[in-house]
Amino acid sequence: MSFPSTLAFAHDLVKGVLFPGAYAVDATLGNGQDTLFLAQGVGPEGQVHGFDIQKEALDRTENRLHQHGMVNRVTLHQNSHHQMEQILPPKWKGNISAVMFNLGYLPKGDPAIITKPETTIHAFSQALKWLAPGGILTAVLYTGHTGGLEEAKQVLNYIKTLKPNVFHVIQYQTLNRHHAPSLIAVQKSKKHPPDEARNFFVK
């Protein structure tokens, strides 16, 4: 037996909440691996929306989807993930099964173009509101690049403020490896308060 990588563990967790006809979001397209995984999970009746600010990421993702015949299940946006609330179909609010983030920079891309804590946390806040009861948000945090450690710290501080009766939160990481990526997974309770009365945060 071997422990799964952070990415593999994220996929294992998300696989459990996807179903034919589900809605899902890839908040950071990268090379499109998560996008393809989500598209396969939601089936031909489901739909995925993907976000990235770099056209290169959209092109890589679209090529991957074409190779697997999944283009019709995915809508790609060259926009920051913190704009998802303005772009996603209104009927998706409260009905999204999974939102996946991979923070940092585009693999084999420009390492100076990175995710930033202020927009990442804004995107997290929107994603948590739009999750369905039982839905999952996953985020892989990288600290080996400039700005990565600060973003990870701010994300973790934000996650710690979530009410435990509304969200279940886990962290997964290899502890004896320097700058090992970590996975944060947040699942919305199936018995969360109604929208009008909901307060996600510990006072």
Read off the pLDDT of residues 44-54 as tens digits, 9 standing for 90 and up.
999 999 999 99
Report the alpha-carbon distance of residue 65 to residue 153 in Å, rounded. Answer: 33
In a domain, 1, yes or no: no
Question: Quick one: pLDDT at residue 129?
Answer: 95
Instruction: With respect to residue 203, please indicate whether it lies within any of the assigned structural domains.
Output: no
Reply yes or no on whether the pLDDT at 201 is more than 80.
Answer: no
CATH of the domain at 162: 3.40.50.150
Q: Which of the pair, 59 or 143, is modelled with greater confidence?
A: 59
pLDDT, one tens digit per residue, over 115-135 is 999 999 999 999 999 999 999
Please give the tally of structural domains in the chain. Answer: 1
pLDDT for 192: 62
Residue 197 confidence (pLDDT): 44
Domain-embedded: residue 45:
yes
Q: Indicate whether 32 belongs to any domain.
A: yes
Query: Bigger pLDDT: 203 or 110?
Result: 110
By residue range, what is the domain housing residue 74?
6-197
Q: Which residues contact 160 (CB under 8 A, 6 or more apart)?
A: none
Sheet holding 23-26, edge to edge: 74-77, 47-51, 23-26, 96-102, 131-141, 182-188, 167-173
39 assigned to some structural domain: yes
**Full-model pTM:** 0.93
Is 177 a domain residue? yes
Q: Is residue 202 part of a domain?
A: no
Residue 74 lies in a domain: yes
